[in-house]
Amino acid sequence: MKPIYFVAFLDLFAVSLIVPSLSGHFLENNVVWVGSIYGIAQLFSQPFFGSLADRFGTRNVTIVSLLISSFSYYLLSKGTGLIILILARIIAGSSKQTQELSRLVIVNKENEENRARVVGLFNSVGSAGFILGPIISGFIRESFPGDGVYICARLTSLIFVINAALVWYFIEPSVTSAQLEKAKKAEKEAGATFSTLSQLYKMWDLCLLRLMLTMAILMARFVMPILSERAFGPVRSGMLTSYTSLAGTVSAALASNIIPNLSKRMDITTLELLTCLGLAVSILFLAILWGNSFWFLFLAVLFVNCFFTQCSRILLTQLTVARAPVANRGKIMGSVTSLTAVSRSLCDFANAFLLSFGDLGPLLASAAICSLSSLLVARVVPKTQKVKTS
């Protein structure tokens, strides 16, 4: 396994110890809006870190990101004071960019033909980090009802420090002095013709698509642990989250092999359209099956939903890379991906509002958003050529 894959695995393992329980923790303490602070901070920090990675290399920027993130989760473990919670989430949202930085390393090193496969493998390895974390977190929170969340936050902080040391030791510097000067020159020349804002304006359809799909997927994913914890307790909820991660790991591995083969026969935009429809149908079936006795059928549909989710992640990365200038790729990818932060910041509010109408409100709304996304792909997003093979 390449070191960058292990970094991604350890990163999401650390996150999975604390993040799945945060939405319920904020909801219980009537501070749902605190969960949105992270997403708002990410909106501004992702383009900034992408730009830093273009200039100083992903290794150095990733180490800084991990160390600051470690401090934020240590701060989160210090208590329930509102000011501490707000400060911790601002720092975490402003610095936690490990996944995108690692993905940028892979995208820059791989050619177009192999990009879908390696991005899918990266997503698969990263998702594997979420398998054990929620189960361990569930047992800790059930064993220590009052302090479980804070113990998990301390463990997350410690793992981030270990991960930073691994990045420093195993990941080679991605930019030499000569390459840095060349990159600065290329960025300056590119900036004379294209500004980042103008490029994003030209990609408004892709930005809107990512915003809608991420919103729909996160609404469904965030609400299921809340519903399962209400019905079955934290351990069963952790198991469901771990199963979702296991399904994501397996489906990402499948998607990384299926998408490249399908890309030779169909353009990426058509694949994204089919993926949006698959997400809408699978989430609708999850809503229908929730609360019934068809538990195994529910888990099977959840696996299908994870598969379409992983396909969408790969295809959105492909579409973004295909339309982003090479010189500004880090900044553009960071800016586009920052829309994920917008979705994350809105999810807690949306779920809290929709849950007031019933437990299935977020799932039904998620299916509707995916359906609208398919219309956007069919009507607006321009066709992208098939991957050429030698």
CATH number at residue 245: 1.20.1250.20
**pLDDT over 90, % of the chain:** 15
Burial of 186 (0-12, 13-18, 19+ CB in 10 A): middle
Question: Could you give the CA distance from residue 282 to residue 301 in angstroms, rounded to a whole number?
Answer: 6
Q: Is residue 363 part of a domain?
A: yes
Residue 282, token pair as written in the block: 């699978």
Residue 22, token pair as written in the block: 């945060």
pLDDT tens digits, one per residue of 165-220: 998 888 777 654 445 555 555 555 445 444 555 665 667 777 788 888 988 998 88
Q: Is residue 385 part of a domain?
A: no
Q: Report whether 35 contacts 348 (CB < 8 A).
A: yes
Residue 180, token pair as written in the block: 């840095």
Taking all residues of the chain, what is their mean pLDDT, rounded to a whole number?
Answer: 78
Question: Could you give the CA distance from residue 221 to residue 243 in angstroms, rounded to a whole number?
Answer: 12
Q: What are phi and psi of 173, to 5 degrees?
A: -55, 130
Q: What is the pLDDT of residue 389?
A: 40
Q: Is residue 201 part of a domain?
A: yes
Q: Is residue 26 part of a domain?
A: yes
Which residues touch 156 (CB under 8 Å, ≥6 apart)? Answer: 14, 15, 17, 18, 73
Question: Per the structure, how many domains does the chain have?
Answer: 1
Question: Could you give the CA distance from residue 7 to residue 166 in angstroms, rounded to a whole number?
Answer: 7
Q: Report whether 72 contacts 88 (CB < 8 A).
A: yes
Q: Is residue 390 part of a domain?
A: no
Residue 355 belongs to domain spanning: 3-379
Q: Is residue 365 part of a domain?
A: yes
User: Global pTM?
Assistant: 0.67
Q: What is the pLDDT of residue 22?
A: 72
Q: What is the DSSP letter of 294?
A: -
How far CA 268 is from CA of 116, 144, 261, 358, in Å, comes to: 11, 48, 11, 37
Question: Could you give the CA distance from residue 225 to residue 329 in angstroms, rounded to a whole number?
Answer: 35
Q: Report whether 232 contacts 226 (CB < 8 A).
A: no
Q: Is residue 129 part of a domain?
A: yes
Q: What is the pLDDT of residue 276?
A: 94
Mean pLDDT calculated for residue range 92-96:
85
Burial of 96 (0-12, 13-18, 19+ CB in 10 A): buried
**pLDDT surpassing 50 at residue 126:** yes
Q: Is residue 340 part of a domain?
A: yes
